[in-house]
Amino acid sequence: MMTPLLLALAAVAVALAPALAVAQTGAPAAATPSGGAACLEVIAHRGASGYLPEHTLPAYALGHGQGAEWIEPDVVLTADGVAIALHDVTLDRTTDVAERYPDRAREDGRYYAADFTFAELERLRVVESRPGRFPHATFRVPRLTDVLDLVDGLNRTTERRAGVYPELKSPDVQPGLGAAVLAALAGYDLPVRIQSFDAAALAALVTDLPRVQLIASPAQLAPAGLDEIAGYAVAIGVPAILIYRDPALVERAHERELAVHAYTLRADQLAPGFDSLGAEVQALIDAGVDAVFTDHPDQVLALTAAQGAACSPASTAGAAPR
Ligand code: G3P
Ligand code: CA
């Protein structure tokens, strides 16, 4: 259930976004004759996590309200098999678990989500792990179904069609994760892309939903590797730094009908060699990248609009930051 505070945040966020948006699909963006992507989609990375704590309903609501085409929850399982939005399989970095349950750490000193029921996790508060960001421990760890309710509801009330882009986190140690995510998604009519770093788990998913293979190292981008990925995925998720170093990798992926989604742009942590977020966005547009994960969707949307590379009318809101 959405709290009054969450409703207020969502209302503010939604008020910032225009009512119209184009429908989204899991398919790669169309390429222009010059080879560049027709537009650069914006994915709210862990929600609008530059402004509110990652993987909280307020952060997702803000990302939607800012006009992001996609909302990204990372997903792990609790002890009772509930799919929750969380980046790590442990709770230490992003919650106050050590204060609430001081006796529940494993021998390695870490607190694992798999050792707690969802009812126990409801006592936790999410904390910000990055310096200089949101200072309060106010919000709770949501279930994936809470995220889906939120995006579906906001889509209806704003007449938009933002998508959900869940990542299967460590499915090798959570064998029921893929099935749990698919079961949750089945209850909604939302654009979906499913992503994972785990190629075996992603390829083995029994689903018609579009899949995105996350890339961790350049070796995975060799021709044979791309050929294999193209057998089950519609896109690759690539560290932006690899694209800056080798923009031609986008063309190699496109030749195999794989879209390229870059991660992760942050206004408060630019990539080495760049002096502005705008320069990073421009480099991705020039390379023909199709979508980008960002902690600051509003700023990237404004920049793509300024460059004529916005995918949605929503991204015409706001002025481009320098
Ligand atoms: O899923 C794309 C990007 O989010 C991968 O990095 O660590 O933020 O999940 P991470
Ligand atoms: Ca992710």
- Residue 106 is part of a domain; what is its CATH number? 3.20.20.190
The mean pLDDT value of the chain amounts to 89
Question: Is 136 an active-site residue?
Answer: no
* Cα-to-centroid distance, 169 and ligand 1 (Å): 9
Percent of the chain with pLDDT over 70: 85
Q: What is the pLDDT of residue 151?
A: 98
Q: How many CB atoms lie within 10 A of CB 314?
A: 29
| Residue 113: inside a domain | yes
- Of the given ranges (146-160, 166-180, 308-322), which has the lowest mean pLDDT? 308-322
Q: Using the CB atoms, write b or e for 87-111: b if 16+ within 10 Å.
A: bbebbbebbebeebbeeebeeeebb
| Residue 235: inside a domain | yes
Question: Is 64 an active-site residue?
Answer: no
**From 55, 87, 254, 261, the catalytic residue:** 87
Q: Is the pLDDT reported for residue 154 higher than 50?
A: yes
State the residue range of the domain holding 220. Answer: 4-10+29-316
Q: How many CB atoms lie within 10 A of CB 63?
A: 34
| Residue 126: inside a domain | yes
Q: Are strands 83-85 and 74-77 parallel, antiparallel or unpaired?
A: antiparallel
Q: Is the pLDDT reported for residue 131 higher than 90?
A: yes
* Cα-to-centroid distance, 44 and ligand 1 (Å): 11
| Residue 22: inside a domain | no
Q: What is the pLDDT of residue 29?
A: 45
Q: Is the pLDDT reported for residue 4 higher than 60?
A: no
The one-letter amino acid code at 214 reads L
| Residue 16: inside a domain | no
How many separate domains does the chain show?
Answer: 1
Average pLDDT over residues 271-279: 98
Lookup result for tokens 């509003």 = 298
| Two structure tokens written together for 174 | 């959570």
| Residue 17: inside a domain | no
* Residue-wise pLDDT tens digits, 35-89: 456 899 999 999 999 999 999 999 999 999 999 999 999 999 999 999 999 999 9
| Residue 84: inside a domain | yes
Asked if residues 10 and 154 have their Cβ atoms less than 8 Å apart, the reply is: yes
| Residue 141: inside a domain | yes
